A and B are shown apart, each in its own frame.
Chain A
Amino acid sequence: MRHVIRRILFYICAVWVAVTLDFFIPRLAPGDPVAAIMGKMSQKGYVTPAMQQTLSAMFGLNTNDPLWVQYFKYLGNLLHGNLGNSIQYFPTPVAQIIGQDIGWSIMLGGVAVVISFFIGCLFGMIVAWKRNTLLDTVLSPVMNFLSAIPYFWLALLTLYIFSYLLNWFPLSGGYDSANIDPGWTFDFVSSVIQHTFLPALTLIISSLAGWMLTMRNSMITTLSEDYVLMAKAKGLREGRVMFWYAARNAVLPNITGFAIAIGAIVGGQLLTEMVFSYPGIGYALLQAVNQQDYAMIQSVFLMITLAVLGANFLADMLYAFLDPRVRQERSA
């Protein structure tokens, strides 16, 4: 119990740090968002000092308030779910845009994480079992190389080969928005699947190696345990020893990794979404960066961070549940 309380306190602290960072980064940075937008607007037409004041007020940057008052106003706004208004889609509230986008991210990431987790664990298990055979000597370095490929470049390559050269898949988007209306129709769902396939594939390829290598290494350690030898000596079938004796214990580190990966879904595929112009939260962040939509940048960062923190917390709790040693005092 004490462990749980300590972890909860820690995560409260982490959330506070994230929120505070989100408040201070724009205020400490030399680049002034108001000036940036004013510069952009003045290219298009006349700007007045009144507009500048309005903009400052919109950012909560009006210098009349001392910093701590601004800070508490900001905290109050956050608690009410008021994340400010987007500049690029003015005056849509940021929270609304994020609400629309986050579903796409969760769907894409969820599918990719679950598939790559299962395939990765399976591969890792088999490779460790068939250690020192051709399979292991080829697959392990290949996986190693795959994990070193820059994420977005792999995405660019697959997009180029499968969408541009072969024309099998669409070049961008989450569904065929020109011809199909969203809804639970066959057309819409199949269009979504068609658009999700490539991004999900690149995500799976690039994350597979991590799962596989962790599983392989932990499996190799487990395979040298006495109870595995015992199981073999008893003459149990190979598959039974592999799955129910070795892999069952070796999968522990990957399970906590899985919990964290679930949390990273929201923010972990930023680059993939950007390359595929997939309408998730990562794409929203890229557009916000390009358009200098600062309220949007801050909110997306906050959402991603909260998701990651939540998942880490769950992983911690899960670990305490799975490994009794952690529950006892030796928590550090």
Chain B
Amino acid sequence: MKLQEVPHSTSAAPAALLPSDPLYVRLLDGLLVIWRAMTSSRKVAVGSAIVGIFVVVGLFGPFVMTYDPNATSHLFIAPPSAAHWLGTTVVGEDIFSQLVNGTRTSVFWGLGTGLLVTLLSVVIGLVGGYFGGWVDDVLTLLTNVSLVLPALPLAIVLAAYFPRGPLTISLVIVVTNWAWQARVLRSQTLSMRSREFVTAARVSGESTWRIIFYEIFPNEIGLVVAGFVSTTIYVVLTWAALEFLGLGDGTIASWGSMLYWAQQAGALGGGLWWWFVPPGACIAILGAGLSLINFGIDEIADPRLRREHPVKEVKSEKAVA
């Protein structure tokens, strides 16, 4: 059940812009391929399950929490107990409740931002690759320049100047991280452009935008999904890093801002491990889940990376799980 989360979230955007039949069929076909890939590879299945759990917790977790994440109490710096599963902060906030509410913020802003990055790189990569000529020259130059500029320092500078908040962080990450995937998609589009089905579409008088997004795009969906997953890992990490530096909105519960407050309150020097360990562990586990998916996709794409003896399969699964 949970396995369905990832492909659904990625296909949400393309699915929204399709009224016609053949595209629909092709997309479904693409989804079927992804589904088969997910269930055939153990790594992808485990990774999707991890991500799925976080999505479910993010969706429904906050409703079953008994404590308000921002409510202070007189129970300061309490270690984990039955009442407060992960203890309390220096001002008596319930950390478990913060963690669950933070899951919602971090997971959904992370996935959403990953989606935005993917969207931008799809548009730039496909348009550049298909049009060629000066459009491509300009976009390629833009992509390459953006690739060599260091992403994290640029993100810090941008986030320092603009008003604090999740939207700022999201946009900053989009602006600094679209280039890599755009380059991959551009070269793929370049090779698609001269295929027969594109020529056929052009001859039959389809509009340019239709050819790009309805004819070429569905053929690159696998690449886009892989790019989305690896981008999202990076987004989640960068997001937490920026918030940890105090560039986020500290009043909104999220993993990064929990770490920020823990650091500000000197949780490390005070030995309050229950404050700064859980949010970091959540980021790490989510990141590991996503990179398992990616690892699996890599193996599907490059058969040489797959293991050769099916006998050993059992062992590897134990190690992974």
| A153–B263 alpha-carbon span in the complex (Å) | 11
Q: Are A31 and B163 in contact (CB under 8 A)?
A: yes
Q: How far is the CB of B314 from chain A (nearest CB, A)?
A: 10
B245 partner, pick from A10, A147, A274, beta carbons under 8 A: A274
B205 within 8 A of partner (CB) = no
Q: Which B residues are CB-close (under 8 A) to A151? A: 237, 241
Q: Are A150 and B283 in contact (CB under 8 A)?
A: yes
Q: Are A145 and B284 in contact (CB under 8 A)?
A: yes
CB-CB nearest in chain B for A138: B319
B133 within 8 A of partner (CB) = no
Q: Are A141 and B320 in contact (CB under 8 A)?
A: yes
- Residues of A127-174 at the interface with B, using a CB-CB cut-off of 8 Å, are 131-132, 134, 137-138, 141, 144-145, 147-153, 156-157, 159-160, 164-165, 171
Q: Are B292 and A270 in contact (CB under 8 A)?
A: no
A271 partner, pick from B233, B241, B247, beta carbons under 8 A: B241
| A312–B144 alpha-carbon span in the complex (Å) | 11
Of the stretches A62-70, A82-90, A187-195, A299-307, the one at the interface is A299-307
Q: How many contacts between A and B, using CB within 8 angstroms?
A: 144
Given A137-B315, A152-B244, A220-B304, A25:B287 Cβ within 8 A:
no
Q: Which A residues are CB-close (under 8 A) to B148? A: 11, 14, 308-309, 312
Q: Are A132 and B309 in contact (CB under 8 A)?
A: yes
Q: Which A residues are CB-close (under 8 A) to B144? A: 10, 14
| A229–B304 alpha-carbon span in the complex (Å) | 16
Q: A260-278 CB contact bits vs B (8 Å, 1 = yes)?
A: 0000100110110010000
Q: How far is the CB of A303 from chain B (nearest CB, A)?
A: 9
| A11–B149 alpha-carbon span in the complex (Å) | 11
A217 within 8 A of partner (CB) = yes
Q: Which B residues are CB-close (under 8 A) to A137? A: 312, 315-316, 319
B157 within 8 A of partner (CB) = yes
Q: Are B283 and A153 in contact (CB under 8 A)?
A: yes
CB-CB nearest in chain B for A16: B145
A13 within 8 A of partner (CB) = yes
Q: B188-200 CB contact bits vs A (8 Å, 1 = yes)?
A: 0000000000000
Q: How far is the CB of A152 from chain B (nearest CB, A)?
A: 6
A43 within 8 A of partner (CB) = no
6 more CB-based (< 8 A) A-B contacts, given A137-B316, A221-B304: A14-B144, A14-B148, A134-B315, A152-B259, A290-B246, A297-B156
The residues of A with any CB-CB pair to B shorter than 8 Å are 10-11, 13-14, 17-18, 21-22, 25-26, 29-31, 131-132, 134, 137-138, 141, 144-145, 147-153, 156-157, 159-160, 164-165, 171, 217, 220-221, 224, 264, 267-268, 270-271, 274, 285-286, 289-290, 292, 294, 297-298, 300-301, 304-305, 308-309, 312
Q: List 6 A-B contacts (CB under 8 A).
A: A10-B141, A11-B148, A31-B161, A147-B291, A150-B237, A264-B150
